[in-house]
């Protein structure tokens, strides 16, 4: 898109889609880029179906818990949040008031949730979409619980559906995560992935299939399309922070 094309879009639209992800280990079979690659494809397909502009994917996220596995690139929550904030404020200058973040990595969510609340005060309504909780709710029986965790069969299936050439299923691993000896109900521990698995895979991965991945992709894109259409119609008055009662 050139700047006159951007001007034409922003003159008539106050909404954009921004994909964000991470670059972190997903076991020996999957590419490091899994989270940003999937976010990009979900965002682009949704943008195509809704005539909303999709920005370039922001590839690096908050992944310190994966650093012992080679190639992981991690950004602090503070720097990540500010980078996304300044991206959003640049768009606000051109009249954007509605931003749909397609987040491919759960570790980014606390920073994104904080930011969304702060931006709302400034007059920008930011929603965050994550494909895997949507898939868990909408396709509850497609995968077992042990297939739905980090780098498991569900995520690997989506990789197979979207970028088959980047997955090496001959290196697929099934690994039951280890329970830390201090773990108990109600306890949160500062563990890294390496404390729980040797391969980086949580649970079952070898049952992944491109066919199941396509089902997940279609289902989550349909869901996100309905959100984007609703957001397009919503009045800014209804989206902004309410005054005190």
- Residue numbers of the site for Zn ion (CB under 5 A)? 34-35
d(CA 109, CA 36): 14
* CA distances in angstroms from 145 to 44, 113, 133, 142, 154, listed in the order given: 28, 26, 12, 10, 10
User: Which position's Cβ is nearest Zn ion?
Assistant: 35
| Contact by Cβ (8 Å): 21, 36 | yes
Query: Which residue has tokens 């003159």?
Result: 11
Structure tokens at 203: 């649970």
Q: For residues 52 and 104, which CB has a smaller minimum distance to Zn ion in the complex?
A: 104
Q: For residues 34 and 46, which CB has a smaller minimum distance to Zn ion in the complex?
A: 34
CB proximity list for 80: less than 8 A, separation 6 or greater: 60, 61, 62, 108, 111
Q: For residues 14 and 35, which CB has a smaller minimum distance to Zn ion in the complex?
A: 35
d(CA 91, CA 123): 12
Burial 57-87 (b: 16+ CB within 10 A, else e): bbbbbbbebbbebeebebbebeebbebbbeb
Minimal distance in Å, beta carbon 151 to Zn ion?
A: 6
Q: For 71, which DSSP code?
A: T
Q: For residues 50 and 159, which CB has a smaller minimum distance to Zn ion in the complex?
A: 159
Minimal distance in Å, beta carbon 147 to Zn ion?
A: 14
Minimal distance in Å, beta carbon 155 to Zn ion?
A: 5
Minimal distance in Å, beta carbon 93 to Zn ion?
A: 32
Q: For residues 17 and 158, which CB has a smaller minimum distance to Zn ion in the complex?
A: 158
Minimal distance in Å, beta carbon 81 to Zn ion?
A: 20
d(CA 13, CA 98): 9
Would strands 15-20 and 98-103 be described as parallel, antiparallel, or unpaired?
parallel
Q: For residues 125 and 202, which CB has a smaller minimum distance to Zn ion in the complex?
A: 202
Instruction: Tell me phi and psi for residue 114, to 5 degrees.
Output: -60, -50
Minimal distance in Å, beta carbon 30 to Zn ion?
A: 8
């Amino acid at each position: 898109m050139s700047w006159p094309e951007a001007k034409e879009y922003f003159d008539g639209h106050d909404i954009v889609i921004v994909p964000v992800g991470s670059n972190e280990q997903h076991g020996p079979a999957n590419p490091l880029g899994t989270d940003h690659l999937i976010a990009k494809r979900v965002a682009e397909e949704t943008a195509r179906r809704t005539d909303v502009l999709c920005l370039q994917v922001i590839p690096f996220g908050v992944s310190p818990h994966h650093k012992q596995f080679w190639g992981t690139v991690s950004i602090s929550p503070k720097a990540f949040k500010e980078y996304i904030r300044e991206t959003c404020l640049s768009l606000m200058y051109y009249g954007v008031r509605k931003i749909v973040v397609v987040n491919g990595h759960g570790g980014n969510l606390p920073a994104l949730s904080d930011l969304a609340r702060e931006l709302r005060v400034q007059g920008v309504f930011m929603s965050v979409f994550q494909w895997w909780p949507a898939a868990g709710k909408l396709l509850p029986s497609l995968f077992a619980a042990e297939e739905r965790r980090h780098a498991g069969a569900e995520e690997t299936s989506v990789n197979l559906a979207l970028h088959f050439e980047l997955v090496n299923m001959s290196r697929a691993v099934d690994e039951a995560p280890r329970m830390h000896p201090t773990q108990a109900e109600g306890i949160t521990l500062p563990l890294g992935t390496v404390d729980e698995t040797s391969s980086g895979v949580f649970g079952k991965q070898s049952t992944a299939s491109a066919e199941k991945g396509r089902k997940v992709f279609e289902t989550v894109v349909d869901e996100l399309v309905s959100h984007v259409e609703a957001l397009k119609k919503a009045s800014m008055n209804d989206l902004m922070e309410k005054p005190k009662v």
